[in-house]
Amino acid sequence: MKSKPDETIIVIDRHAQQTGGQPTELTGWRRWLAAGAAYVVFGLVVMVGLAALLGIAMTFAMVLVVAIPLAIVLAVIAYATGLVKVDVRRDRF
């Protein structure tokens, strides 16, 4: 006859050896509730982290796609209108 495997339990110790108290054991629906709450908290932390990384990546992409070409175009316009003088001679240093 097969023996039934022991049910998994969550043990919260709270320094039971030092104070002489009994450790708290979560079994049954309380264990499921604790595990579910832990999964929800972990999922929320992961989602916030991914949102932050996505925001940083989109900001970096917008700088590359918009700001740098805009700066180049404005520099060319300023050079063409004479507002900026560019000296390319190397012996000026």
Measured between alpha carbons, how far apart are the two ends of the chain, in Å? 92
CB 52 within 8 A of CB 29: no
Per-residue confidence band for 47, with pLDDT thresholds at 50, 70 and 90: very high
pLDDT tens digits, one per residue of 2-35:
666 666 777 767 665 665 666 677 778 888 898 8
Averaged pLDDT, 38-60: 96
pLDDT tens digits, one per residue of 57-74:
999 999 999 999 999 999
